[in-house]
Amino acid sequence: MVTQVRHPIWLPAVKQAGARTFATLYALESFTRATIASVVPIQAYELLQNKQGVSLLYTLVALIGLSATLFMPMLISRFSRRWIYTTGVVLLALGSLLFMTHSLPGQMLGMLARVMGASALAITLNLYIMDHIRKTEIMQAESLRMAWSMMAWTGGPTLGVFLYTHYGIVATHAVVLAFATALLITFWYFRLGDNPLISPGKTRAANPLKNIGRFVSQPRLRLAWVIAFGRSCFWTTFFVYGPILMVVTGEGELAGGLLVSAGNALLFAAISWGRAGRRFGARNVMAFAFLAMSAALFAAGLGGENLPLMTGGFLLLGALFAVALDALGSTAFMRAVRTYERPQMTAVYRTYLDFSELLPPLVYSVVLSFFGLGAVFCTLGVFTVFCGLLTWRYLPKSM
């Protein structure tokens, strides 16, 4: 009949996923994680009242988190990416709810939920990026993604510690819940993988366990992993032991948050380091950055707990050189990985992050049994010297 008209249902138009889509998601995710980046180690220290205990706690959590990372692609292939991504956001929110209990079991489970959530988000987002961004545009997209996250990692740690010291634990983690909610709403608004306007992804998530042997058999991939592992070890040490240094020396929790925020603010130097890499060669700049970082770490180790402000200053100097490795380090992997192996090798390559959260606290727990916090920075300095020499010796001059 003429009167039986079926009117169209108008839905908001969603553009094809692009660089801004993933930059937006990553920025919101960064706010969700960065806000309590300095609060989590401070909470752990308040509960344990022992620096060695904090190291052992981080080691245990990282060990379990590594297992989750290795098996994440299997879960993605079984349950689809959008649900794994959603679960990752929910885990970040659940972690903050557990932190609110301010108990040792809640702290451990909260840290574990946070690690597993970050792993789920990182792997699924990388798969989305590889499916929707052309290879020739990945570098530009990644630069945009990092740029949009700078504000979160610069202001987030200080904001979190300020809320924690002035308004308490509930207010701090309530902000995380708000960012997590915004992230989840934004993700489903983009309808990645569901919206018919967006072509389904073509990359199948593989089990990283089947690709470890292939990764290890390629020397340049091994070197790229060591470079990434070395710089990530610095950031893990900086984020965890920088705030603890400020607390145990009486400088205060807010000073710890300001230290981490100042270190993250140096990410703005990434553009300058990129230009230096193009002019002098990535190999030369990365080797120099490792060795200069080592010198700063040794100086921080000498200052130790006796001169906390000087120690913090040298840690910030080390962070400046770590930014150079952030800007150039991934080049070693991207130029070495074969195109047809990129998804599989990327899954294995990302384990550098889990190992950097697992091994340093384990080593530091032994070091702290005999020495003070200054020895932690000296220990890391020895390893970064090794990374610098390895980079200079084996990274191709054409880099």
| Predicted local distance difference test score (pLDDT) of residue 140 | 59
Percentage, residues of the chain above pLDDT 90: 31
In this predicted structure, what is the pLDDT of residue 254? 79
96-100, 204-208, 267-271: which has the minimum mean pLDDT?
Answer: 204-208
Please tell me the pTM assigned to this model: 0.73
pLDDT for 383 equals 96
pLDDT band at 391 (very low <50, low <70, confident <90, very high): very high
Which residues are CB-neighbours of 83 under 8 A, at least 6 positions away? none
Confidence category of residue 205, pLDDT binned at 50, 70, 90: very low
pLDDT score recorded for residue 314:
95
Q: How many other CB atoms are there within 10 angstroms of residue 274's CB atom?
A: 18
What radius of gyration, in Å, describes the C-alpha atoms of the chain?
Answer: 21
Q: Please say if the pLDDT value at position 14 is more than 80.
A: no
Predicted local confidence at residue 233, as pLDDT: 95
- 29-65 pLDDT tens trace: 989 998 888 788 889 888 888 877 887 888 888 888 8
| pLDDT of 161 higher than 80 | yes
Most confident listed range (112-126, 300-314, 329-343) = 300-314
Q: Which pLDDT value is given to residue 247?
A: 86
Confidence of residue 389 (pLDDT cuts 50, 70, 90): very high
Q: When comparing pLDDT for 222 and 279, which is higher?
A: 222
Q: Assign 108 a pLDDT band (cuts: 50, 70, 90).
A: very high
Mean pLDDT of the 332-342 span: 74
Confidence of residue 158 (pLDDT cuts 50, 70, 90): confident
Q: Please state the rounded mean pLDDT for residues 295-310.
A: 92
Q: What is the pLDDT of residue 213?
A: 86
Q: Which residue has the higher pLDDT, 88 or 8?
A: 88
> Considering only 206-220, 301-315, 369-383, which range has the smallest mean pLDDT?
206-220
Distance separating alpha carbons of residues 334 and 342, to the nearest angstrom? 9
Domains of the chain, first to last? 17-205 (1.20.1250.20), 206-399 (1.20.1250.20)
Per-residue pLDDT reduced to its tens digit, 244-285: 888 888 888 778 878 888 888 887 777 787 778 778 888 899
